[in-house]
Amino acid sequence: MNINENVKALILQGLRRKKQNKVWLAEQMGLSKSWATRLLNGQLKTLSDDHAEKLMRILDIEFFTLRRVDDTQVSAKGMQLAAEFDRSPAFASVATALQVAMKETVYTPKFIPTEQMAAIGNEIIRIAYANEDKPGKVARLVLELLA
């Protein structure tokens, strides 16, 4: 998985919530302090699946991922959304905020046919591109779209 600003922010948030530092994180991960330093200062560009899972477990965080409930392959549009998360920290930040909000709310979405879901995904991407420097506006427009 690619390490973007959103991933680093989630890791830092987990460390703050646990009142710990990068030395503790390195020890918990079974890796060197320099690994944790490179992770948090942006020198480390990717995480293995094993390291990502271990970080989520240790810090009690969840990275935003796109996968089907049955873990089958994600559609081309899903892959496009995932690429947008890596390309745009603002878009990833909005998506993560939506994910957190959804975790705190009991919500059963209605069934939406694949074609409509693809159209919604395209519209979210369009909104993110059009308002790249305005994450608050992106969040508001996405929520209005989903309402």
Query: Mind listing the domains of the chain with CATH numbers?
Result: 5-59 (1.10.260.40), 76-146 (no CATH)
pLDDT at residue 70, as a whole number: 59
pLDDT at 30 over 60: yes
Q: Does pLDDT of 65 surpass 60?
A: no
Task: Write the pLDDT tens digit of every residue in 31-40.
Answer: 999 999 999 8
pLDDT for res 106 = 55
% of the chain at pLDDT higher than 90: 20
Please answer whether residues 138 and 128 qualify as being in contact, where contact means their C-beta atoms are separated by less than 8 angstroms. Answer: yes
- The chain-wide mean pLDDT, for the chain, equals 80
75-99 pLDDT, tens digit each: 566 667 777 777 777 777 777 777 7
Mean pLDDT in residue range 123-140: 85
Of 22 and 75, which is predicted with more confidence?
Answer: 22
Q: Is the pTM of this model over 0.85?
A: no
